[in-house]
Chains A and B, each alone.
Chain A
Amino acid sequence: MVTLTIDGVKVTVKKGSSILEAAQHVGIRIPTLCHDKRLIPFGACRLCIVEVTSRGRTRTMPACFNPARDGMEVATDTPRLRDSRRLQLMLLLRSHPLLCPSCDAGGDCQLQNLVFEYEVPELSFGRQSRYFHVDNDSHFIRFNMNLCIRCGMCVRVCEEVQGQSELSFVKRGIESEVSTDFDRTLDCEFCGQCASICPVGAISSKWLVGTGRRFELNNTPTVCAFCSLGCSLTLGEIDRKTAYVSSSPDSANEGNLCVKGRYGWPFAYSDERLTKPLIRKNGALVETTWDEAIQTVADNFGSIKANSGPESLAAIGSQRLTNEEAYVFNRFVRTVLGTNNIDHAAGLGYRALKDGLAPMLGYAASTNSIREIREAEAVLLLGADLTETHPVAKNEIILASVRRKAKVIVVDSIRTKLSDRDGLFVNVPQGAEVFIVNAMIKFIMDEGLLDRAALDLRAEGLEALEESLKDYSVETVGVNFGIDPELIRNAARMFTQAESAVVILAEGLNRLGDSVALSKAAVNLALISGHIGKESSGVFVLGEKANAQGAVDMGLMPDTLPGFQSISDENARSKFETIWNSQIEPKQGMGARDIMNAAANGTVRGLYVVAENPVDTYPNRQQILNALGKLEFLVVQDMFMSSTAKLAHVVLPAVAPYEKSGTFTSAERRIQKLNPSSKIGCGKPDLELFMTLASKMGKADLNYSGYAEVMDEIASSVPMYSGVSYGRLGLQGLVWPCVDAEDSGRPTLYEGGFPIGKAKLATAEPFAGVLPKADSFRLIPCVQKFHSGSFSEWSPSLMEVCPSGFAEMNGHDMAGLGVVDGSDIKVTGSGGTIILKVKQSRRPVKGTILVPYHFSSNNLNSFTDWGSTEIPIKVEKA
Chain B
Amino acid sequence: MQERDAILKRKVQDSAEAIPPEKLLLLEPIIEKYQGSSSYLIPALKEAQEMFGYLPMEVQRKLSMGLNIPAPHIYGVVTFYSYFTITKRGRHTIRLCLGTACYVKGSKQILEIINKEVGINVGETSKDGRFTLEAVRCLGACGLAPVMMIGEDTHGNITPSATLNILEGYQ
Contacts and interface: CB of A to CB of B under 8 A. Distances in A.
Interface of A: 129, 131, 164-172, 179-183, 420, 842
A179 B80 contact: no
Contacts of A168: 70, 72-73, 75-76
A131 B75 contact: no
A141 B9 CA distance: 22
Contacts of B73: 165, 168
Given A170-B75, A181-B60, A131 B68 contact: no
Contacts of B70: 164-166, 168
Nearest to A171: B79
Contacts of B65: 842
Interface in B130-168: none
Interface of A is mostly: loop
B57 A181 contact: yes
B75 A181 contact: yes
Given A131-B5, A131-B8, A181 B80 contact: no
A420 B68 contact: yes
A172 B57 contact: no
Interface string B42-69: 0000000000000001001000110010
B57 A182 contact: yes
The 8 closest A-B pairs by CB, nearest first: A181-B75, A165-B70, A168-B76, A168-B72, A181-B71, A131-B9, A171-B79, A170-B79
Nearest to B1: A129
B116 interface: no
B72 A180 contact: yes
B11 A183 contact: yes
Contacts of A166: 70, 72
Given A172-B79, A179-B72, A181-B76, 18 more contacts: A131-B9, A165-B70, A165-B72, A166-B72, A168-B72, A170-B75, A170-B76, A170-B79, A172-B81, A180-B72, A181-B57, A181-B60, A181-B64, A181-B71, A181-B74, A181-B75, A182-B57, A420-B68
A99 to B, nearest CB: 16
B31 to A, nearest CB: 14
Contact-residue bracket for chain B: 20 to 34
15 contacts: A131-B5, A131-B8, A131-B9, A165-B72, A166-B70, A167-B72, A168-B70, A168-B76, A169-B76, A170-B80, A179-B72, A180-B75, A181-B64, A181-B71, A181-B72
A585 B36 CA distance: 62
Contacts, number: 47
A373 to B, nearest CB: 23
Interface string B88-122: 00000000000000000000000000000000000
Contacts of A180: 71-72, 75
A165 B70 CA distance: 6
Nearest to A175: B79
Given A165-B70, A168-B70, A420-B68, A182 B80 contact: no
Contacts of B71: 180-181
A492 B93 CA distance: 58
Contacts of B9: 131
Nearest to B74: A181
B123 to A, nearest CB: 13
Most chain A beta-carbon neighbours within 10 Å: one of B5, B57, B79, B81: B79
A842 B82 CA distance: 33
B21 to A, nearest CB: 11
A131 B1 CA distance: 14
A167 B73 CA distance: 8
A109 to B, nearest CB: 25
Contacts of A169: 76, 80
**Quick one: which of B72, B74, B80 has the most chain A CB within 10 A?**
B72
A776 to B, nearest CB: 28
A180 B74 CA distance: 10
Interface string B3-14: 001001101000
Contacts of A164: 70
Given A131-B8, A131-B9, A172-B80, A182 B75 contact: yes
A131 B76 CA distance: 18
Nearest to A132: B9
B109 to A, nearest CB: 23
A170 B80 CA distance: 6
A169 B70 CA distance: 13
Interface core residue of B5, B73, B82 (most chain A CB under 10 Å): B73
Contacts of B82: 172
A138 to B, nearest CB: 13
Contacts of A179: 72, 75
Contacts of A183: 11
A645 to B, nearest CB: 43
A760 B160 CA distance: 89
A168 B71 CA distance: 9
Contacts of A842: 65
B80 A171 contact: yes
Contacts of B75: 168, 170, 179-182
Give the residue among B73, B74, B76 with the most A Cβ atoms within 10 A: B76
A129 B1 CA distance: 12
Most chain B CB within a 10 A radius of its CB, from A164, A172, A182: A182
Nearest to B82: A172
Contacts of B57: 181-182
A147 to B, nearest CB: 16
Contacts of B5: 129, 131
Contacts of A165: 70, 72-73
B149 to A, nearest CB: 18
Contacts of B68: 420
B1 to A, nearest CB: 10
Nearest to A182: B57
A557 to B, nearest CB: 44
A842 B74 CA distance: 19
A167 B76 CA distance: 9
A281 to B, nearest CB: 58
A167 B70 CA distance: 9
A510 to B, nearest CB: 27
Interface in B11-42: 11
B146 to A, nearest CB: 21
Nearest to B137: A174
A203 to B, nearest CB: 14
Contacts of A182: 57, 75
A282 B155 CA distance: 90
A843 B64 CA distance: 16
Contacts of A172: 79-82
A172 B84 CA distance: 12
B69 to A, nearest CB: 8
Contacts of B8: 131
A4 to B, nearest CB: 37
A479 B65 CA distance: 29
Nearest to A133: B11
A379 B12 CA distance: 45
A171 B77 CA distance: 8
Contacts of A181: 57, 60, 64, 71-72, 74-76
A353 B72 CA distance: 41
Contacts of A171: 79-80
A167 B82 CA distance: 20
A397 B75 CA distance: 26
